[in-house]
Chains A and B, each alone.
Chain A
């Protein structure tokens, strides 16, 4: 089955800095890579996703890049704000088998004002 590794587990930045979270996956058949944000005490919510026919996708201050050859994808947050503080999960979904996403262990992002 799919295996998703996520790093770092904790990321601390100053407001205004950029933050990068990296994930690797094992199954070359995976073709859907969503990112979820979970604020303290709340449910995970999708913030951005990318499919394997796209190398990069941007939505305002967040962007995701995908390298299918190397089997890794990254989340980039620019001009971080305190409200970006949350746990971020990456996931990978297999195309040919079960489409249930396999999640990484999460990154706790702390943005200091």
Chain B
């Protein structure tokens, strides 16, 4: 079956702009999580959506938001971009069962200039 798909793969934005990233989970997976990956900081959890509801949230400012649609596809939005938002943004999908494998997408590389 198809894996987790993220679009776009690369993005260059200017400070102050906003950006929307998209994630299509594996068919049948209802949980979608978003992570920010920067060198030396590992995988920082942003938020998780399950059945169109934000179920968990990490410690990121309100400029970072997301949503999930009825087909489980998820979008992440970052407003008023800052240089420090430059990172690889990964989404992961998993089944509804607890403590199961998270399947990651290839990520979106965001560069803020």
Do A and B share a complex?
A: yes
Mark the stretch among B63-71, B79-87, B99-107 that contacts chain A: B99-107
| Known contacts A43-B90, A44-B90, A103 near B43 by CB under 8 Å | yes
Interface residues on B, range: 20 to 34
Number of A-B contacts (CB under 8 A): 48
- Seen from chain A, the residues whose Cβ lies within 8 Å of a Cβ on chain B are 6, 9, 31-32, 34, 36, 42-46, 49, 51, 89, 93, 95, 98-106
Contact of B101 among A34, A51, A89 (CB under 8 A): A34
Contact of B43 among A42, A44, A46, A93 (CB under 8 A): A44
Could you give, for residues 29-54 of chain B, a 1 whenever the CB lies within 8 Å of some chain A CB and a 0 otherwise? Answer: 00001010000111101001000000
Asked if B56 is at the interface (CB within 8 A of a chain A CB), the reply is yes
Residues of B within 8 A of A43 (CB): 4, 90, 104-107
Contact between B98 and A99 (Cβ–Cβ < 8 Å)?
Answer: yes
7 more A-B contacts (CB under 8 A) besides A43-B4, A99-B98? A6-B42, A95-B98, A100-B33, A100-B48, A104-B42, A105-B42, A106-B43
